[in-house]
Each structure stands twice: as structure tokens, then as C-alpha cells.
């Protein structure tokens, strides 16, 4: 996706790591191409900028130092807002279904 970056912080193919951490960055105005639904629960910590996060058809404003919890099977999406890039740390379990 143009204007967005994604970096894995832990090994992703090893079941010994039942936890994943990714750093996602978005230029202002850039976001996910579509609403996503995942089996895993997620936690998102905003490290820079601001944006709108869509959870279950509700738009939530977030900014640096905010935390968002996403339950399994919760429709979700993000778009960076403001004039500066947004970045967040995404944490999730990966080798099991949520709940």
C-alpha cells in the first residue's frame, strides 16, 4: 500500500512465539484499504500521530499514547488523520483462535 509501512518485530513462522508485534506506519490520509476481521484479539498502542479507528462500525479518534483493544472477529480499520504520519504498535496472539 502506498504511503504505509509494516515491520515485524518478532519471528512470525515459529509457533514458540504465540505472540506477534508489528509496527505499522501511515502517511497522513492513508489507511487500510478495507475493513478487516481477524480470529485473534489485538492490542494497538499509538506511538505517533493521530487517526480514526473503525471498530464494529463505530469511528474512534486516537492519538499518540492511546491504546485500543480489538476483540476476535471485530471488524476493524484505520486511517491516519492530521498533518503528520501516524504509527502504532500492534500486538496479537497468532497460533490460536481468540476466545
Q: Indicate if the pLDDT at residue 95 is higher than 80.
A: no
What number is the average pLDDT over the span 49-72?
94
- Centre a 10 Å sphere on the Cβ of residue 74 and count the other Cβ atoms it contains: 16
Asked whether the predicted pLDDT for residue 88 surpasses 70, the reply is yes
Whole-number percent of the chain with pLDDT over 90: 62
Whole-model pTM: value is 0.86
pLDDT band at 68; cut points 50, 70, 90: very high
Cell of 14: 515459529
H/E element, 16: none
> CB of 87 within 8 A of CB of 25?
yes
Q: Going by C-beta distance under 8 Å and a sequence separation of 6 or more, which residues neighbour residue 9?
A: 21, 22, 23
Query: Do the Cβ atoms of 51 and 26 come closer than 8 Å?
Result: yes
7-55 per-position pLDDT tens digit: 999 888 887 778 889 999 999 999 988 899 988 888 999 999 999 999 9
Beta bridge partners of 85: none
- The dihedrals phi and psi of 63, each to the nearest 5 degrees, come to -145, 175
Mean per-residue pLDDT over the chain, rounded? 89
What domains sit in the chain, N to C, each tagged with a CATH number?
4-14+23-92 (2.60.120.10)
Amino acid at each position: 500500500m502506498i504511503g504505509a509501512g509494516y515491520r515485524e518485530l518478532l519471528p512470525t513462522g515459529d509457533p514458540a512465539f504465540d505472540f506477534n508485534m508489528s509496527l505499522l506506519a501511515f502517511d497522513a490520509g492513508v489507511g487500510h484499504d478495507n475493513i478487516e476481521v481477524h480470529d485473534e484479539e489485538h492490542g494497538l498502542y499509538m506511538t505517533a500521530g493521530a487517526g480514526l479507528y473503525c471498530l464494529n462500525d463505530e469511528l474512534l479518534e486516537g492519538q499518540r499514547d492511546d491504546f485500543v483493544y480489538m476483540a476476535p472477529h471485530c471488524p476493524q480499520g484505520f486511517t491516519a488523520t492530521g498533518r503528520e504520519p501516524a504509527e502504532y504498535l500492534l500486538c496479537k496472539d497468532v497460533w490460536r483462535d481468540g476466545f
